[in-house]
Structure 1
Amino acid sequence: MDAHVADSLGAWALDACDGDEAAAIEAHLARCAPCSAAAWQLRAASAWLGIEHVMEPPPGLRGQILDRARSRRPPVLLRTLVEAYASQVALLDRALRGLNQADWRTPDPRHHDLAGLMVHLTRNDAMLATDLTLPVTKLPELSRRHETAAGAAVHEAWRAQADTLVRGLTSEEDLDRDVSLAGRDGPGRGPLRDALVQRAFETWIHLDDISEQVGRRLSQPPPEQVRRIVSLAVGLLPGALAAHGVDQPGTGRLVLTGPAGGEWELPLGPFTVQADAVTFARLVANRRPPETVASAIEGDHRLAGLVLRVAATLGCD
């Protein structure tokens, strides 16, 4: 590498050389590979230095890149489901840390107060931990004479149990493994993949419950999580409808809108129900009465109404 040319490459890259000097450098670059490589690296760097404003990426670019990456290396489903649950745990934990003494005594229509609600959630998490032979966290005794301390202790116990699930599911578990599913009328059974969707779902819904009770804004889960919730509900609906004596040949369509939107089919019909996806998820959790859900129905209105009413019974409460 020529020392004089090497000293001048920075100026050349910035177009700061006069005509004769630039011609001499370029003649040298044509016959010297090391200098040529260094020169074009400097020229590329100088192009970046000339950018005055950060350019916004084209719409959809991020999604295209992620889709391409997933097509080359599909995400491990177990990791995806555990991370969805862990993200809801983190959000609920943050909300609980913001509660004051009076908040813990706020009445809850299903579980006496917020401490009772968290006991309920912890027991459902512990039920899955038991099936997976993971440690179960002991819950504190709830004494009404020490409600605030009990609330903080329940918070700590719930977080410990949730962390046990998250840490204990780091290997490639059998997602078809039969485990307990929480239910309003007692536990049922289903595959681990459904149980993990349910744990994230129930954690989100109880975050909603607490936010509503203390006057905070309700959260919106990621669209892919809502789609998993809807798919779980659609899978459970035929059995729930049969248990309620609803059995009519045909095909029903559930068309959901919003960022989590999509279309699902049910093995009975004919009808089409169109509604917002997040609202439908809250209906499934029994947090929205069927008659208050804004929906457009085509076909058999009676059957569609029955489907919405039965969907509202699927939650864990």
Structure 2
Amino acid sequence: MSLHPSLQTYADAWTHSVEAISELVQPLVEGEWNRRTPCPGWSVRDVVSHVIGMDCEMLGDPRPIHTLPRDLYHVSNEHQRYMEMQVDVRRHHTAPEMTSELEYTIIRRNRQLRNESREPHAKVRGPLGSEITLEQSMRYRAFDVWVHEQDLRTALGRPGNLDSPGAYIVRDDLLAVLPKVVAKEAGAPANSAVVFDVHGPVDFLRTVRVDAEGHGTIDGAVSLGPAATLTLDWETYFRLACGRVTVDSVADRIKTEGDPELAAAILRHFVVTQ
């Protein structure tokens, strides 16, 4: 048997992004590994450590036994502590150690994917000891690795791949939570609509509609007379949603029309990743 067809999209996206990451970091000299990335609290080395660590967990490797320092300002909850463990344990690794472990992990994961015969609904280990499906796990890895590829590109001044396979997985996952952001978090009024007009390498027009009970849904139809319209580029959209930039720092890249208080409330609650 081989990889289930419904998992192939995630495998392809992961492969594309992780190979791009490998290519980006292979020529780096020691000092460049310490550059800050847009991911809060993490350097280039930290981002690559996270990618390695999470894929080692996909391989079933045991988690490191390691005590985190108490002064990590960007670690404030259990989920962040869980993610930080694989990062902090590699903080003193050299550039050759990092690139060789990354390459070895990619080889092992590619072998695992070639031999993967489990069904998409098979249960696997998730963060914090949770159980999730194999499909959820692979989708999460595709999302995560693409966003971190972009973190590295920003830190290293090497833009690109804004419309690669992982970008569309990220787009769909971010759009899936948009109704909650608009209807619940931002408190859009009942029987209203909010339009998101996103342009750039990945472009889309979506309308979030809030019904009489305050529940939100999303579709691609144009809304006449929306309560608010937000127009922005794809890079700003995902960086904002993933907590890589603040609203104030990209205010000149966002155009809003309609109810200014509703638009501001939506942008205040736009971050949806932990």
Q: How high is the TM-score relative to the length of structure 1?
A: 0.57
The question of whether the paired residues in 1 share the 8 Å contact of 2:33 and 2:95 is answered with yes
Pairing partner for 1:122 from 52, 59, 77: 52
How far apart are residue 149 of structure 1 and its match? 4.6
Q: Which has the higher helix share?
A: 1
Q: Which residue of 1 aligns with 2:83?
A: none
Distance verdict in 2 for CA 1:211–1:262, change over 3 Å: closer
Helix, strand or coil: the match of 1:104?
helix
Q: Which residue of 2 aligns with 1:88?
A: 17
Q: Which residue of 2 aligns with 1:246?
A: 187
Instruction: Measure, in 2, the Cα distance between the counterparts of 1:181 and 1:310.
Output: 26
Identity of aligned residues (%): 18
Q: Which residue of 2 aligns with 1:274?
A: 231
Q: Which residue of 2 aligns with 1:235?
A: 176
Pairing partner for 2:26 from 92, 97, 105: 97
**More displaced stretch, 114-123 vs 102-111:** 102-111
Helix, strand or coil: the match of 2:244?
coil
Letter in 1 for 2:235: V
Q: How does 1:1-317 map to 2 (within 5 A)?
A: 76-108=5-37, 110-127=40-57, 129=58, 134-136=59-61, 141-142=89-90, 144=92, 147-156=94-103, 158-160=105-107, 162-163=109-110, 166-167=113-114, 169=116, 171=117, 173-174=119-120, 193=135, 195-214=137-156, 216-222=157-163, 225-239=166-180, 244=185, 246=187, 248-249=189-190, 250-268=192-210, 270-291=227-248, 292-293=250-251, 294-311=253-270, 313-316=271-274
Q: Which runs of 5+ in 1 are unaligned?
A: 1-75
How far apart are residue 87 of structure 1 and its match? 0.8
Distance verdict in 2 for CA 1:306–1:224, change over 3 Å: farther
Instruction: Measure, in 1, the Cα distance between the counterparts of 2:242 and 2:129.
Output: 15
How far apart are residue 256 of structure 1 and its match? 1.4
Instruction: Measure, in 2, the Cα distance between the counterparts of 1:251 and 1:88.
Output: 35
Instruction: Measure, in 2, the Cα distance between the counterparts of 1:190 and 1:121.
Output: 19
Q: How high is the TM-score relative to the length of structure 2?
A: 0.65
Which has the greater radius of gyration? 1
The question of whether the paired residues in 2 share the 8 Å contact of 1:115 and 1:154 is answered with no
Q: Which runs of 5+ in 2 are unaligned?
A: 65-85, 211-225
Letter in 2 for 1:135: G
> Cα RMSD (Å) of the superposition?
3.8
Letter in 2 for 1:315: T
